[in-house]
Amino acid sequence: MAKINEDLNREREKCSFNVKELTILMDGGPEKTKERKERENFMISKRDTYAGIPEDYLSYKEQYEKAVKKSVIVFGLVRRLQEEGKTTIHNYRDVLGNLLRASDVSTGFPLALHYIMFMPAIINQGTDEQTARWLPRAWDCNIIGSYAQTELGHGTFIRGLETTATYDPITKEFVLNSPTLTSYKWWGGGLGQTANYSIVVAQLYTKGECLGVHSFIVQVRDEETHMPLPGIKIGDIGSKLALNGINNGFLGFNNYRVPRNQMLMKHAQVLEDGTYVKSRNPKLNYGAMVFVRVVIAFDMANYLSKAATISVRYSAVRRQCQSKAGEQESQVLDYLTQQHKLLPAVAACYALKITANKLWDTFNTVNEELLAGNLQRLPEIHALACCLKAISTYDTATFIETCRLACGGHGYMHSSNLPTTYSSAVAACTYEGDNTVLLLQTARFLAKTWQEIDNETGKLTPTVEYLKTTKSKGFSHKWLNTTDNIVYGFEVVSMRKIASCVQNMQKRVASGMTFEDAWNMSSIQLVAAAEAHCRVIILSTFNSEIKELTKTTSPELKRVLSQLVDLYSVYWALEKLSDLLQYTTINHEDVDGLRSWYEDLLTQLRPNAVGLVDAFDLKDEMLNSTLGSYDGRAYERLMEAALKSPLNSEPVNHTFHKYLKPFMRGKL
Amino acid sequence: MAKINEDLNREREKCSFNVKELTILMDGGPEKTKERKERENFMISKRDTYAGIPEDYLSYKEQYEKAVKKSVIVFGLVRRLQEEGKTTIHNYRDVLGNLLRASDVSTGFPLALHYIMFMPAIINQGTDEQTARWLPRAWDCNIIGSYAQTELGHGTFIRGLETTATYDPITKEFVLNSPTLTSYKWWGGGLGQTANYSIVVAQLYTKGECLGVHSFIVQVRDEETHMPLPGIKIGDIGSKLALNGINNGFLGFNNYRVPRNQMLMKHAQVLEDGTYVKSRNPKLNYGAMVFVRVVIAFDMANYLSKAATISVRYSAVRRQCQSKAGEQESQVLDYLTQQHKLLPAVAACYALKITANKLWDTFNTVNEELLAGNLQRLPEIHALACCLKAISTYDTATFIETCRLACGGHGYMHSSNLPTTYSSAVAACTYEGDNTVLLLQTARFLAKTWQEIDNETGKLTPTVEYLKTTKSKGFSHKWLNTTDNIVYGFEVVSMRKIASCVQNMQKRVASGMTFEDAWNMSSIQLVAAAEAHCRVIILSTFNSEIKELTKTTSPELKRVLSQLVDLYSVYWALEKLSDLLQYTTINHEDVDGLRSWYEDLLTQLRPNAVGLVDAFDLKDEMLNSTLGSYDGRAYERLMEAALKSPLNSEPVNHTFHKYLKPFMRGKL
């Protein structure tokens, strides 16, 4: 093993807590840690079989081709685990998550949607018969599926989708059509060149009536030749900011026919004669959306942990400027401005992971209730998942970019892996529901809750119960600079923002505006209210869960985690200071105190910064970064990576003779 | 010409002002507009000679090769203008700016640094003899130069550079060496494979003494064969987030000798016997840095104008969601949340352009004073350029990303040109001085000014004069929701922040901290103070200049520009509300009033949104965007662009047969 950078050695020596203890705590126990590491090591051990020139040097087409090559190896490993019974239809998402995180396929997998959307759609929306027919083939990857919902002209507004599926009772088939350019399906992962099947979401027409969007299993390419089938127009949508191995595709239909039994009919059905049978409860599909959005919050914690690890380690290695003449230059991690950029990001990794964990548990409880026919908590949990998705993706993207910029010029190099980490993570602000739209959905739930709050005699559902408490108690006590008080302050802020939105809406409606116009004119503040609610959820969950979790940890770990919670809460208190100034009793001196406390916390956490990111336990193969490796050989790796640039394979590029030299001699 | 989208037609019909009038106003008069358009059209007319597959589909190496090909055509055109006398050594930066903006070389030019850094270094730092020898060859592009200052281990801290240039009086040469890995030059544009000369910044040693960093003209490749010269290790640093045609390179020396007369000796000299003659005034070089940073502010206004044009036009074309049942779906530009994302960005384009213009004029005045030996305003103007560079780059990157995200999934497509616009602009947060470091330089000047404020009997230099006024007057009057009052509020905020920083520093020093530690512990607040100062400069300049400029415009234009200034000031008042709440008399009701005013301004500006971006007069060839074209055919262009993806050139990619099919049959 190569020598470890002296500065990093020193950082690790002075770490006040046991890093392994923290890793195990966050994994959920030593067994979980062991399991995770086994899967990761399994994946990493196969790396050599699909290494090669880094994706950043390849053409778009080559990136796709490499992604296919890597995919069949990675998913081949998944299939091996399936065959060995180490992963089943019930736990494959977990296993897959560990494996994919341990692969270095930074451009994404054209086969990912097959597992993440195609199979779940069959499981959740297919009849027993349909599942029996399609799932085994999908599970064995005999067929590869995509998921085609979004169209060129419609994303957010699903009701506006234009693709039609018209039932023909004579042939007992659905006839699919793309009546306009904007009705072309757009974005389906793996849809371009990879998948031969896809779930297609289309407007169902039967007996001359439009019955809204439904899902269909549609074959798009020949299983033998992979040629697009007649009536299908399919292809690649082109180059994107990142994730260019995913092979997002477009798809159009010209009188393309699929048998009746390929509409997914668990909930609603079309009978042979074309009679439509409604779903018992159309809201049941919300469960799947909640699930996907919580998974995104976990993904975000993972992306951010990568960026935080890279930038904290590099900041321990990088030395710049003599703060005192004659002395060695300072580690950039010693600058308070650098700590201000990195340590809140580190805290956010823990906060997001812990909130997602908690929400995951809540979701599982609610899901069981759902399956038992109790839909009471669905609106609450849906609203929660919406805002958590929005805020976790936005915060993550912002923190990653801050981490990247904190690494100066080298953070702009692809070999640092920070650019790709940002470009990939920021996509989540848009997919699975645009953040603004999702926050407005949360706001709709909050406004409704608020309007009914006085009619509710009992408790509200747990995550909004604070609205009732704060409404009756308000914020009249003297401000205290403690995390518990900050959390309470945020609860009051959220309550007051919701109250104020509802009041403004009512005023506008009373003055003659339509509800829709009043909603639109209040929407900036509604978004802010939904954000405030989400801040309450994350802050209070992080605060209470860490208190709970550290009951049984070592006092050293308890101390650092409690500092981390404090840092996170003070950071957000200062970021959202105008809210606290407006809605609580915080005064000028308190604010000064808050700032000093923040500066002190940064100083206290500084010696544990490297330990806190080491605890994420991200192996070098997963970080894939010249700046962030465990050994801290940042400069050596930067140079090694540069020498791999294809431009360096020859001393003189041919364009010198062809273009440059004639130009320099005035001949061009 | 293709049919123009109906929605865009309607937007243009309802625009309340004359778009051309605004374009001419911003250009600085009809002559300037004519000149700019001629240069742009000249460039655009040559497009066909270097078109081809979009860069996003090429490999890294191909991107470089295409950038060279394009460069010799583009700079060949520049040379033609030179020969025709249409551009001279005195005005070439202007001409070059217009031409480069009108080219579509999104990956950047490997020859750009030759014009932007290599030639100016010779002009500013060379003796008459050196200029006479080198400039004509550089001007004719007989030689191509780069600029090598930053090293692998040092960027910000120039005094820490490690490359050495040791004078050998026997051979009358400097011996260049790279004593460590971290001393390798890193980042020089065009340095990898393109340039055959470079300015090299190195620690000068003569007579056994180190005399700090000096600049040298160094040949790095053979003029005939382009092979790296013996003693030179040179190459490409590898793939970056964007700008991969710039060919940033690394450079190391092993006892590489250059003649004595290749040290640039206008200011300091090394005589034949090795005697060192100091520069009369080492601060003279600051002038060049100020210049570069103001140019960056113009660049930012340009990048942001692109992003704003694309996203506003697309938001007029895109329709999503029925706000009222049965009606046509709404243009997304009608949503207040969308206006909130886009219109402040539009206002910022105007604010930045106008502030940069003003600073440019100020700089020219100060530069004349400098040349006349009067250095009095240098610290002020240097501090101003530092914070303007930092804030203009940060704001621009943030607004561009907001514009990009406001375009949903399609904003993630390279064909929208938003990803590249962001990735290129955000680089400016780092190059030419990291933003945090620059803001701390501004803060140092402000702190110094503050400490001397009571000793100054006369007026302070103009851009900090407000500190004195606000110090004596404070903010005791009742808050008014007007832009003039907001500007004054920001002045008070800036003054109070600086005062508070200085006080905190003094307290810390009094308690026994060293000055350096006190500075570090105050640095988060010092950065905030410098930002506040810059907000004052931009807000007050935008406010006063628009008042001045609109004295002679039509009343319609005056009205919309004044709304734009109001929007910009209210936007920042709300963004920085916590400062106003702390340091002014603004109260809860005022804040509510501010929010309503903001919502009203968005509504008032909404009908002119398209007109305001049309006035940037960015031709389709310059926008290079499927979403942002003048005709609004966004969906058609998205599909046309997708069909150009190399993956779509064949119905089945070869990886199907090689990898996918065997995998699907369980054979892999």
Task: Measure B440 CA to nearest chain A CA, in Å.
Answer: 10
Q: What pLDDT, in 10s, does the model give residues B436-464?
A: 999 999 999 999 999 999 887 777 888 99
pLDDT confidence of residue B317 = 98
| A-B Cβ pairs (cutoff 8 Å, strict) | 352
A339-389: per-residue pLDDT in tens? 999 999 999 999 999 999 998 898 888 888 887 888 888 899 999 999 999
Which pLDDT score is estimated for B324? 74
Sign of the CA dihedral with B489 first, then B492, B494, and B496 last: negative
Please state, for a pLDDT cut of 70, what percent of chain B lies above it.
Answer: 99
The model carries a pTM of 0.98
CA-closest candidate to residue A352, choices A293, A290, A291, A300 = A300
Q: Are strands A164-168 and A197-206 parallel, antiparallel or unpaired?
A: parallel
Asked if A668 and B582 come within 8 Å (Cβ–Cβ), the reply is no
Write out pLDDT tens, residues B623-665. Answer: 999 999 999 999 999 999 999 999 999 999 999 999 999 999 9
> Is residue B565 exposed (0-12), middle (13-18) or buried (19+ Cβ within 10 Å)?
buried
The identity of residue A302, as a single letter, is: N
Q: What is the mean pLDDT of residues B529-549?
A: 98
A595 touches chain B (CB under 8 A): yes
From residue B238, how far is each of A93, A418, B59, B64, B182 by CA, in Å?
A: 36, 14, 12, 11, 17
Which residue from A238, A642, A660 is facing B413, i.e. has the nearest CB? A238
Beta bridge partners of B202: B214
| CA distance linking residue B43 with residue B123, whole number of Å | 27
* B223 classed as catalytic: no
For A22-47, write each residue's pLDDT tens digit: 999 999 999 999 999 998 998 898 88
Distance CA A108, CA B358 (A): 47
What gap in Å lies between CA A54 and CA A104, rounded to an integer? 10
Compute the nearest-CA separation of B614 from chain A (Å): 24
Q: Rounded to whole angstroms, how far apart are CA atoms B52 and B544?
A: 46
Most A CBs within 10 Å, among B55, B250, B331, B647, to test the A interface? B647
The whole-chain average pLDDT of chain A stands at 94
Distance between A570 CA and the closest CA of chain B, angstroms: 14
* pLDDT band per the 50, 70, 90 thresholds, residue A505: very high
- Min Cα separation B400/chain A (Å): 14
Q: Is the pLDDT of residue B50 over 80?
A: no
Please tell me the distance in Å from A335's CA to the nearest CA on chain B. 6
Please provide the DSSP assignment of A372-426 as one string. TT--TTHHHHHHHHHHHHHHHHHHHHHHHHHHHHHTGGGGGBGGGSHHHHHHHHH
Q: Which residues of chain B are within 8 Å of residue A160 when distances are taken between CB atoms?
A: 320-322, 329
More confident call, A290 vs A303: A303
Rounded distance, CA A471 to CA A500, Å?
12
Per-chain mean pLDDT for chain B: 94
Q: Residue B58: which region, alpha, beta or left (left: phi > 0; alpha: psi -120 to 50)?
A: beta
A581 vs B contacts (CB less than 8 Å): 577-578, 581-582
Question: For residues B114 and B144, is the Cβ–Cβ distance under 8 A?
Answer: yes
SS3 B494: helix
Choose among B62, B226, B431: nearest Cβ to A656.
B226
Euclidean distance between CA atoms A225 and A179, whole angstroms: 28
Task: Assign B519 to helix, strand or coil.
Answer: helix
DSSP string of B292-358, one letter each residue = HHHHHHHHHHHHHHHHHHHHHHHHHH-B---SSTTSPPPBGGGSHHHHHHHHHHHHHHHHHHHHHHH
**Dmax over Cα atoms in chain B, in whole Å?**
91
H or E segment to which residue A285 belongs: none
Of B157, B336, B603, the CB nearest to A320: B157
Cα–Cα distance, B454 to A607 (Å, whole number)? 41
pLDDT at A1 (0 to 100): 56
Any CB–CB contact under 8 A between B158 and chain A? no
The pLDDT value recorded for residue B79 is 87
* pLDDT tens, position by position, B121-159: 999 899 999 999 999 999 999 999 999 999 999 998 999
Helix (H) or strand (E) holding B553: none
Over residues B179-189, the mean pLDDT reads: 98
What is the residue whose two structure tokens read 């030759």?
B114
Option in B61, B430, B440 nearest A412 (CB) = B430
pLDDT confidence of residue A349: 98
Q: What is the pLDDT of residues B244-276, one digit of tens each?
A: 999 999 999 999 999 999 999 999 999 999 999
Cα gap A367→A355, rounded to integer Å: 18
Q: Look at residue A420 in the predicted model and tell me its pLDDT.
A: 97
User: Taking a C-beta distance cutoff of 8 angstroms, is the pair B417, B106 a contact?
Assistant: yes
User: pLDDT value at position A51?
Assistant: 76
- In angstroms, rounded to a whole number, what is the distance separating the alpha carbons of residues B59 and B68? 14
Task: Provide, rounded to the nearest whole percent, the portion of chain A with pLDDT above 70.
Answer: 99
- Interface touch B408/A155, C-beta < 8 Å: yes
Window B:20-49, CB contacts with A under 8 Å: none
DSSP B587-631: -HHHHHHHHHHHHHHHHHHGGGHHHHHHTT---HHHH--TTT-TT
- Dihedrals phi, psi of A35, to nearest 5 degrees: -60, -50
End-to-end Cα separation, chain A, in angstroms: 53
B664: helix, strand or coil? helix
B554 contacts chain A (CB < 8 A): no
Label residue B1 by pLDDT band (50, 70, 90).
low
Q: Which of A150, A194, A238 sits opposite B415 (nearest CB)?
A: A238
Who contacts B587 (Cβ-Cβ below 8 Å, separation ≥6)?
A: B479
At residue A43, the pLDDT reads: 87
B511 Cβ under 8 Å from any chain A Cβ: no
> pLDDT grade, residue A425 (50/70/90)?
very high
Q: Which residue is associated with the tokens 């004639």?
A: A662
Locate A48 and state its tokens. 């050599």
Q: Closest Cα to residue B25, out of B615, B446, B472? A: B615
Report pLDDT digits (tens) over A126-170: 999 999 999 999 999 999 999 999 999 999 899 999 999 999 999
Q: How far is CA A610 from CA A6, A15, A262, A419, B146, in A?
A: 13, 8, 54, 21, 38
Of A375-389, B268-282, B355-369, B569-583, highest mean pLDDT: B569-583
> What DSSP character marks residue B143?
S
